[in-house]
């Protein structure tokens, strides 16, 4: 019913700028914390389609958001490849079996989507059913580079020094890992599309850690392969990167529908660099949501103004919402974006 988000991705006219929020289902919502407590853990929540569906819908019941995003995690793919994902309390994601030698990289295989990742596809099908067409559903994957960061390091890290050292010392081995991971990502996105995902977003959270030469070699090249592989599918592709705004035009040239930007890039410059080849998604600094409602409204207007007039803007934060945010501030933001961007009836 509300297809503002899909229209904006196609750069078609919309009545007002659509908005969704990265990590919109998450710990800042008391109802999320309650469901997570019932599930026992984040992973149990993500692996139980009924509960994943429940938390996906929670932010939509509170706020006038224009899209739903599948509740899952980017690390489900390496988990299904046998690395053993777990969450140590207060420490973020970890792998029991990180990739520490050539042999473990060489024996990696693409997992079967309907068995090893069947719980994700079941969640997509269930969410589509429960949404009743209210808003479109976004499916997602991590980028091959960002997944490789966690697979080599074995968990989160300040600078992912291990995988960056591998890029210099044994590029052939890293390319081998990225090739297998890219095949898995493509199969994962295609399976989500077949299960009912209406848009597909790839998160390249750690692309900005690389020098420009290495970014093009180890991240952009594989994003290009993904864009080509999903080009024939119905759902549009959004390529989000953190710290990769300087590559916006190159990302646009992959053939994706939209480029997602963090708050360190000016939307006007990105738009000038990309021309009208793609829509742009972003890019409010997530810390703004901790400020007063007046500041939130002012900064939301600033982001809308920086994109300027015309279609092809999807409002979002420049990265995920943090657990400390007051949900009422999200309501202020969603309302401000719709109100300030409302086009007059005559277009
Ligand atoms: O956006 C959404 O609402 C959909 C759900 C979603 C989650 N993770 C749920 C989640 C999405 C799209 C992701 C993607 C993801 N996961 C990324 C890429 C986007 C980004 O934020 O950069 C990355 C790098 C991960 C890996 C990951 N998963 C980390 C680093 C963490 C811990 C960070 C934290 O916030 O504690 C997770 C766990 C995770 N994934 C949580 C949620 C809601 C918090 C888990 C909890 O409930 O304790």
Per the prediction, the chain carries an average pLDDT of 97
Pocket test for ligand 1, best of 26, 72, 149, 322 (most atoms within 8 A of CB): 26
Q: Residue range 103-126: average pLDDT?
A: 97
| Pairing between β-strand 92-95 and β-strand 85-88 as defined by DSSP bridges | antiparallel
Q: What is the dihedral of CA 113, 118, 120, 126, to 10 degrees?
A: 130
Closest CA to 313 of 5, 60, 1: 5
> Quick check: 296 pLDDT over 90?
yes
User: Residue 184, preceding bond cis, omega within 30 degrees?
Assistant: no
Asked if residue 198 belongs to a known ligand binding site, the reply is: no
Closest CA to 228 of 5, 138, 180, 220: 220
Q: Are 164 and 210 in contact (CB under 8 A)?
A: yes
- Length of the chain in residues, anyone? 347
> Quick check: 346 pLDDT over 70?
no
Which of the residues are catalytic?
23, 27, 36, 73, 150
pLDDT digits 0-9 by tens, 96-105: 999 999 999 9
Atom of ligand 1 nearest to the CA of 142: 18
Pocket test for ligand 1, best of 23, 31, 48 (most atoms within 8 A of CB): 23
> Quick check: 269 pLDDT over 90?
yes
pLDDT digits 0-9 by tens, 225-235: 999 999 999 99
pLDDT digits 0-9 by tens, 32-44: 999 999 999 999 9
Angle 68-190-127 from CA coordinates, rounded to 5°: 30
> What global pTM score does this model have?
0.97
Query: Ligand 1: residues whose CB is within 6 Å?
Result: 22-27, 36, 42, 69, 71-75, 92-93, 140, 156, 203, 205, 320
Q: Give the separation between CA 242 and CA 217, rounded to whole angstroms.
A: 17
Asked if residue 162 belongs to a known ligand binding site, the reply is: no
| Pairing between β-strand 68-69 and β-strand 313-317 as defined by DSSP bridges | unpaired
Confidence of residue 341 (pLDDT cuts 50, 70, 90): very high
> Quick check: 347 pLDDT over 50?
no
Asked if residue 319 belongs to a known ligand binding site, the reply is: yes
Cα of 88 vs centre of ligand 1, distance in Å, is 14
In what helix (H) or strand (E) does residue 199 lie, and over which residues does it extend?
strand 199-204
Q: Residue range 154-171: average pLDDT?
A: 96
Residue with CA nearest ligand 1 atom 25 = 74
Q: Give the separation between CA 53 and CA 85, rounded to whole angstroms.
A: 21
For 146, how many CA atoms within 13 A lie in the half-sphere containing its CB? 24
Q: Are 203 and 133 in contact (CB under 8 A)?
A: no
Angle 56-110-41 from CA coordinates, rounded to 5°: 35
pLDDT of residue 165: 97
Atom of ligand 1 nearest to the CA of 26: 43
> Quick check: 191 pLDDT over 90?
yes
pLDDT of residue 345: 53
pLDDT of residue 90: 81
pLDDT of residue 219: 98
């Amino acid at each position: 019913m509300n297809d503002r988000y899909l229209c904006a991705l196609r750069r078609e006219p919309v009545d007002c700028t659509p908005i969704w929020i990265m990590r919109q289902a998450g710990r800042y919502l008391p109802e999320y914390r309650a469901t997570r407590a019932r599930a026992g853990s984040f992973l149990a929540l993500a692996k139980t389609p009924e509960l994943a569906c429940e938390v996906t819908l929670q932010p939509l019941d509170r706020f006038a958001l224009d899209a739903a995003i599948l509740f899952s995690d980017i690390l489900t793919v390496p988990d299904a490849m046998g690395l053993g994902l777990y969450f140590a309390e207060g420490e973020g994601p970890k792998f029991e079996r990180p990739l520490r030698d050539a042999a473990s990289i060489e024996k990696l295989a693409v997992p079967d989507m309907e068995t090893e990742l069947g719980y994700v596809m079941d969640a997509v099908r269930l969410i589509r059913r429960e949404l009743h067409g209210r808003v479109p559903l976004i499916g997602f994957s991590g980028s091959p580079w960002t997944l490789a960061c966690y697979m080599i390091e074995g968990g989160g890290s300040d600078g992912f020094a291990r995988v960056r050292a591998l890029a210099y010392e044994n590029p052939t081995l890293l390319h081998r890992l990225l090739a297998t991971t890219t095949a898995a990502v493509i199969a994962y996105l295609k399976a989500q599309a077949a299960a009912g995902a209406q848009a597909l977003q790839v998160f390249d959270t750690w692309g900005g850690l690389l020098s420009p030469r290495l970014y093009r070699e180890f991240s952009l090249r594989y994003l290009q392969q993904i864009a080509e592989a999903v080009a024939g599918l119905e759902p549009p592709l959004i390529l989000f990167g953190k710290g990769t705004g300087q590559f916006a035009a190159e990302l646009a040239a992959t053939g994706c529908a939209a480029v997602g930007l963090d708050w360190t890039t000016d939307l006007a410059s990105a738009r000038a660099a990309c021309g009208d080849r793609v829509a742009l998604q972003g890019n409010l600094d997530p810390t703004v949501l901790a400020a007063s409602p007046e500041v939130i409204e002012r900064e939301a207007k600033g982001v809308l103004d920086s994109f300027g007039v015309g279609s092809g803007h999807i409002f979002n934060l420049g990265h995920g919402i943090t657990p400390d945010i007051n949900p009422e501030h999200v309501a202020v933001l969603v309302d401000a974006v719709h109100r300030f961007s409302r086009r007059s009836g005559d277009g």
